[in-house]
Structure 1
Amino acid sequence: MKDNNNLLTQTLADVEHVKVHGRTTGCLAPLTLFWTGSALELNLTGTELWVEIEADYDLYEPWICMEINGVPVSRQMVTGGRRWIPLFRGMSADKVKNIRVITEVQAMSGDPACLFQIHAVKYDGTCLPVQEQPYKIEFIGDSITSGEGAIGAKEEEDWLPVWFSAVQNYTAMTARSLNAEYRVISQSGWGVLTGWDNNPQMNIPQYYEQVCGLLAGERNEALGARTAYHFEAWQPDAVVVNLGTNDGGAFYSPGWRNPVSGEIHKQRLNEDGTFNSDDLAAFEQAACNFLIKLRQKNTHAHIVWAYGMLSIPMMPAIYRAVDAYVRLTGDRKVSVFQLPNMTEDTMGARSHPGVKAHEKAAEALTGYLKELLA
């Protein structure tokens, strides 16, 4: 259907060539984007393009970035409701534009009402196929991988969606350098065994096999967030795990009390300030078990445990966990890579890595992955 401006309006399900990035259920009516870095990508001619979006939230509003031909041209908060937003107008009609609408904010486990959907597009050109990229990479991590603090001044300390960025992020930078399609599974404060506050429910591995199982609420369940993820449909060439920072932080945080059972969980320090050996062993076992799960679901991928950026207290334990996994399985496509540490010069908001730190991490990781993927 064309409007008064001669723009063709189509639901996403009716558009011939649509590329979706990030874990989804496959539904295009509408398309729900759950994870940070998830995106709608189009190649099209024409002078004008609008996208119909819908958002909701109680606490943490979605933010999106719009890219044209690989360059960010706008970034905005998405307030509640359903509306049309313009991506461009007045451009040369015959030139093909590569367009991406990217979710900048992580899946908000702390706000069951948080929602971002794309319903339809309207444009005056032709939609063309999106070229497949030679590699696929999955990134798994915490606040660093969610891009918390990648945008914003150093003095910013409020925990707000505005300080998150999927684009000014080592994941997007690495993927761009390798010409790779990528997906991100990340959550601020979460770990392999426990979250930063010793909460054992805040661990990524228990939700890894679901589309986006860490999201709560009836609506997210109805949208398919907790359904089984179809790994066979998207097999990565590399899986990059950047976890352990919050597991290490838990040793210095108070114990977490289970509100139902009253049980207290705590990663303990010895009297001399070193990590308790039993608690370290529990972390190592959790990391080894996660590697087993990752290999079961990603049969040919190189698995790289990339750790650093916010110091490396858990590095010895990560090495031991990877060594234990290799001895157990004989799998030689698993390795450890140390990311460059954040400095005062590369710090961003909320005492997290800023864009300079992400650039340095991406540069180092790109070089390492190039060797593996070659």
Structure 2
Amino acid sequence: MEKILLLAVIGAAAFAGGIFYGFKNAVRTVLPSDPGISYIGRIDFTDKNAPKFDWPGIEIALNFEGSYCAVLLEDGANHYNVFVDGTRMPVITADAKIKKYVIAKNLNRGAHSVIITKRTETYDGVGIFKGFILDKKAKVLPPPVKPAKKIEFIGDSLTVGYGIEGPSVTCEEGSEKKYKNNFLSFASITSRVLGAQAHMIAISGRGVVKNYGESKIPTDKPIGYYYKKTLMNIDTSEWDFKSWIPEIVVINLGTNDLSTEPKPDRELFEKGYLSILNTVRGYYPQADIFCVAGPVMGEPLPEYIKNIIKRFKDKKTYFVTLSSVPQELMGCDWHPNVEANRKMAEELVKQINEKLKK
């Protein structure tokens, strides 16, 4: 199994738990409201013991002392990465009903960490976390320490990690879900390298003013339509921007606007992009904003973005570019694969660090 760098540390012991439902063996549960659980991402806690989420990259983590751990999920059909003590375990392929998924068993009685991350995206439905199940003698440890730094990513399928684990540009029909993995996207890698927690506001196919494959310009529901929502799939859910304020915002948009005909004219696109920048700046007055061009779409997108930044007249908004990706480093449907995303993250981290040192 694969060792992965994770944003969690194990602290000193603290007790929490209770008996759960009626499973055959005596078990102890950790309800979602337990302070020992750590969350990262936009999550709806209206029901504190049934938190809902749908954005990619949502992270749920627990440190515990025990020999067994399972997770309870009620889910439409999302896929989840699981890490136990930093080791990547088999992927959870969720069912639509409430179901227990065994994460680890027969562990030694020492301290252990479990981290679950959402591989898939908003189109794959809403997930509901119902808690962890531990062995009867288990103890919950203090929660993983979250990084102090925060980064928000606004993007499309490139940020989602669509097709990233695909074997080539052509993947078998109906397989795209299993090849998504936000954890290995350039966005997630960038956040870990910079030592930051991240929120992923990203939807495949969405653009600034035009969505992929659509003919209507401007479209009714571009990425900006969903930006203020806690969940994309719940129209009435409004995100509290004061609850989580990033120091860095990375925007990678425009590929879907300009990849197919008809294309928006330059002025419409630039006004749409400027609207997003004004919205972001309104919520985060002190954030450094990085507007990314590449790696899939070439000119005129870089030229447009440079001009947008010039028009925006903001000293903390920067242009960055990612190199084009060769076909041999492409996954499903011409999306950068894992290796390409590592290189993209390396480029992005270098440029962010260079800009912020000035």
TM-score, normalised via structure 2 length? 0.86
Distance 2:89 2:64 in 1: 17
1:162 and 2:162 matched: no
Shift of 1:135: 1.0
RMSD: 1.9
- C-alpha distance 152-320 of structure 1, shift in aligned 2 (>3 A): same
Distance 1:316 1:137 in 2: 25
Q: 8 Å contact 2:160–2:181 — kept in the other structure?
A: yes
**AA matched with 1:245:** T
- C-alpha distance 315-80 of structure 1, shift in aligned 2 (>3 A): same
Q: 8 Å contact 1:47–1:125 — kept in the other structure?
A: no
Distance 1:125 1:11 in 2: 13
Q: Deviations over 1:29-58 (max 9, x none)?
A: 2021210001211122222111111112xx
1:150 and 2:164 matched: yes
Counterpart of 2:143 (choices 121, 125, 129) is 129
**AA matched with 1:66:** V
- Tell me, what secondary structure is at the counterpart of 1:345? helix
Partner of 2:73: 53
Counterpart of 1:204 (choices 204, 210, 223) is 223
- Tell me, what secondary structure is at the counterpart of 1:12? coil
Partner of 2:278: 292
Partner of 2:114: 99
Distance 1:24 1:122 in 2: 21
Counterpart of 1:304 (choices 275, 290, 294) is 290
**AA matched with 2:295:** M
Shift of 1:151: 1.2
Distance 1:283 1:138 in 2: 22
Shift of 1:360: 0.4
Distance 1:304 1:80 in 2: 38
Distance 2:252 2:172 in 1: 23
1:360 and 2:346 matched: no
**AA matched with 2:304:** A
1:10 and 2:21 matched: no
Q: Deviations over 1:138-179 (max 9, x none)?
A: 111011111111012112053531121111211111111111
**AA matched with 2:63:** N
Partner of 2:78: 62
Matches within 5 A, 1:153-192: 153-154=167-168, 155-156=170-171, 158=173, 160-192=176-208
Counterpart of 1:324 (choices 304, 311, 327) is 311
Query: Kindly, what percent of the aligned residue pairs are identical?
Result: 23
Q: 8 Å contact 1:33–1:103 — kept in the other structure?
A: no
Partner of 1:26: 45
Partner of 2:263: 267
Shift of 1:322: 1.0
Q: 8 Å contact 2:78–2:119 — kept in the other structure?
A: yes
Partner of 1:256: none
Distance 2:86 2:258 in 1: 36
Distance 2:297 2:227 in 1: 25
Counterpart of 2:62 (choices 13, 25, 42) is 42
Q: 8 Å contact 2:36–2:140 — kept in the other structure?
A: no
**AA matched with 1:298:** Y
**AA matched with 1:137:** I
Q: Deviations over 1:167-226 (max 9, x none)?
A: 12111111111111001011111111111224412411122122134x2xxxx35xxxx3
Q: 8 Å contact 2:327–2:334 — kept in the other structure?
A: no
Q: 8 Å contact 1:237–1:373 — kept in the other structure?
A: no
1:246 and 2:229 matched: no
Q: Count matched residues.
A: 327
- Tell me, what secondary structure is at the counterpart of 2:157? coil
- C-alpha distance 294-43 of structure 1, shift in aligned 2 (>3 A): same
Q: 8 Å contact 2:44–2:53 — kept in the other structure?
A: no
Unpaired runs of 5+ residues, structure 2, are 1-17
- Tell me, what secondary structure is at the counterpart of 2:42? coil
- C-alpha distance 367-68 of structure 1, shift in aligned 2 (>3 A): farther
- C-alpha distance 141-317 of structure 1, shift in aligned 2 (>3 A): same
Partner of 2:15: none
Counterpart of 2:329 (choices 346, 352, 358) is 346
Distance 1:346 1:130 in 2: 34
Shift of 1:236: 0.5
